């Protein structure tokens, strides 16, 4: 089935929330509230089955600091996995980063091998103080976070 990637719209918010909460309940990623999704909606890209107009994945690029952005909220629905959609979503975020003149993209994740395949390399969270002090300290898992930080230098 053909898949298109596009910027997220208001009508996608409930589904984005459901996809993220479903994965959060399995501890695959951190939950995001409706407020966070609405306020960061411009960061989101969704993947859609062209013929069905069915959204099957999402990903967001969040600008963190000068020259630095984070890939967040990456989900592909279970039935749509293994077709390269996750890769395309991350690549779209990377391309977005480049258009902003951002050359470092990081992720905090449990899917280390997936991101390694896309060229990301493991780094210490110590090199991401802007992320730690802006977001991590508000996270219930702080400071016992077991997500792995990976960085891609473009």
Shortest reach from residue 99's CB to ligand COA, in Å: 22
Burial of 110 (0-12, 13-18, 19+ CB in 10 A): exposed
Q: Measured at CB, which residue is nearest to ligand COA?
A: 86
- Could you give the CA distance from residue 1 to residue 36 in angstroms, rounded to a whole number? 31
Only one residue has tokens 């995001």, namely 32
- Name which of 84 and 129 has its Cβ closer to ligand COA: 84
Structure tokens at 139: 């996270």
* Residue (75 or 102) nearer to ligand COA, CB: 75
Q: Which residues bind ligand COA (CB under 6 A)?
A: 23, 28-29, 74-76, 81-87, 107, 109, 111, 113-114, 117
Given the complex with ligand COA, which of 68 and 85 has the nearer CB atom?
85
Q: Are 152 and 118 in contact (CB under 8 A)?
A: yes
Min. distance of Cβ 105 from ligand COA in angstroms? 12
């Amino acid at each position: 089935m053909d898949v298109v990637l596009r910027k997220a719209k208001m009508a996608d918010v409930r589904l984005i929330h459901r996809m993220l909460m479903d994965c959060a309940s399995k501890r695959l990623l951190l939950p995001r509230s409706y407020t966070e999704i609405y306020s960061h909606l411009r960061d989101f890209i969704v993947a859609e089955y062209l013929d069905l107009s069915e959204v099957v994945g999402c990903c967001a690029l969040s600008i963190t600091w000068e020259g630095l952005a984070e890939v967040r909220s990456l989900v592909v629905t279970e039935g749509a996995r293994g077709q390269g959609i996750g890769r395309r979503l991350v690549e779209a975020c990377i391309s977005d980063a480049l258009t902003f003149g951002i050359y470092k993209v990081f992720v905090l994740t449990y899917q280390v091998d997936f991101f390694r395949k896309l060229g990301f390399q493991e780094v210490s969270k110590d090199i991401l103080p802007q992320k730690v002090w802006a977001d991590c300290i508000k996270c219930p898992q702080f400071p016992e976070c077991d997500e792995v930080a990976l960085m891609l230098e473009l």
